Amino acid sequence: MNDLLSVKNLSVAYGEKTTVRNVSLRLAEGAIRCLVGTTGSGKSTVLHAVAGLLGAGARITGGSIVFCGEELSDATPSRMRELLGNRISLIFQNPENFFDPIMRIGDQFAEFLKYHDSSLQNAECADMTVKALAEMRLEEPERLLSLYPFELSGGMLQRCAIALAMLSKPRLLLADEPTSALDIVSQAKILGELKRLNRETGTAILLVTHSMKVATALDGLVSVMHDGEVVEEGFARDVLSQPKAAYTKELIHSLPDIEEMRLVE
């Protein structure tokens, strides 16, 4: 199976401080990989580098990021705008920050759709939005079109964010801590939907999380990051059952009990 995404020896610095050092990872078409680590481990920086969304003062100082055979580490902002929301989509930790609080859900979906296809009419956008929301198993999707983001629960709003991200049928979905702001039941539902979307659409997923529980529930590959470096990688269940790095063992010891883990199976 060909690599959809290949990151080789990636290094990133904020000012004079290097925060990611020589990180390499591969993601095949339709695969799932989680970047796992505590706050400050560099996992989100890697994700943002792939998306071309490094913050002010941050820069790639070495290595390469190849997506579908195209080098992204030196891609222009205009090229990244062409890719994002089209072949690459993103979802974030707090869906409340993803949506405009003073625009109705339906209007925000329509704005996205018309950005990519200006010929679409309002009725067409509404139909496409209802279908996307229904595919995320949201009840009464027609009613949601007229609601504002603050009228939805965190779990419902995150499902809306995923539905929006999947509208363009991306080949790669980047997810930055998409469940950490949710309760355990909502978290389980979101993880279940991500696994289903991966299975049914073939969209590959690169997901950042601080939790080995989440990585294990998604049942894909895992790269454990510590202090800006990958210290261990492999299939999530193998890493869980036979961790090699001391840092990985610490993460596993922080897992919830088995009954809580079953909620995200």
- The string of pLDDT tens digits covering residues 47-62 is 999 999 998 889 999 9
Q: Are residue 179 and residue 222 in the same domain, yes or no?
A: yes
User: Does residue 247 sit within a domain?
Assistant: yes
Q: What is the average pLDDT score of the chain? A: 91
Same domain, 177 and 160: no
Q: Is the pLDDT of residue 4 over 80?
A: yes
In a domain, 92, yes or no: no
Predicted confidence at residue 85, as pLDDT, reads 84
pLDDT at 252: 84
pLDDT band at 255 (very low <50, low <70, confident <90, very high): low
Same structural domain for residues 179 and 248?
Answer: yes
CA dihedral 246, 219, 206, 166 (to 10 degrees): -160
CA distance 9 to 21: 7
> Do 135 and 258 sit in the same domain of this protein?
no
Angstrom CA distances, 195 to 146, 202, 204, 255, stand at 29, 10, 10, 21
**Range of 35's domain?**
3-87+171-262
Contacts of 245 (CB under 8 A, 6+ apart): 224, 226, 231, 232
Residue 134 sits in the same domain as residue 232: no
Same-domain check for residues 213 and 253: yes
188 and 162 in a common domain = no
The terminus-to-terminus CA distance of the chain in angstroms comes to 26
* Residue 194 belongs to some domain of the structure: yes
What pLDDT sits at residue 105? 96
Same domain, 247 and 221: yes
Cα distance between residue 20 and residue 230, in whole Å: 9
The answer to whether the CB of 130 falls within 8 A of the CB of 141 is yes
Shared domain for 148 and 207, answered yes or no, is no
Q: How many CB atoms lie within 10 A of CB 34?
A: 27
Residues 62 and 126 in one domain: no
**pLDDT value, residue 260:** 43
Residue 50 in domain: yes
Q: Which of 118, 137, 167 is the last residue of a domain?
A: 167
CB atoms within 10 A of CB 244: 12
Nearest residue to 67 via CA among 38, 45, 89:
89
Q: Indicate if 109 and 192 belong to the same structural domain.
A: no
pLDDT at 186: 85
Asked whether residue 65 is domain-assigned, the answer is yes
Crossing angle, helix 122-135 and helix 154-165, to 10 degrees? 120
Weakest-pLDDT range from 133-142, 192-201, 205-214, 254-263 = 254-263
Q: Which of 167, 192, 222 is the last residue of a domain?
A: 167
The mean per-residue pLDDT over the stretch 125-143 comes to: 94
CA–CA separation, 99 and 11 (whole Å): 31
Check whether residue 9 and residue 80 sit in a common domain. yes
Count of domains observed in the chain? 2
Most confident of 77-86, 90-99, 123-132: 123-132
CATH code for the domain of 40: 3.40.50.300
Residue 94 domain-assigned (yes or no):
no
pLDDT at 199 over 90: yes
| pTM of the predicted protein model | 0.91
Domain end, chosen from 114, 139, 167, is at: 167
Q: Is position 77 within any domain?
A: yes
Query: Can you give the length of the chain in residues?
Result: 265
Q: Is residue 93 assigned to a domain?
A: no
Q: State how beta strands 204-209 and 172-176 pair.
A: parallel
Supply angle C-alpha 7, 11, 13, rounded to 5: 140
Cα angle: 162, vertex 137, 36; to 5 degrees: 40
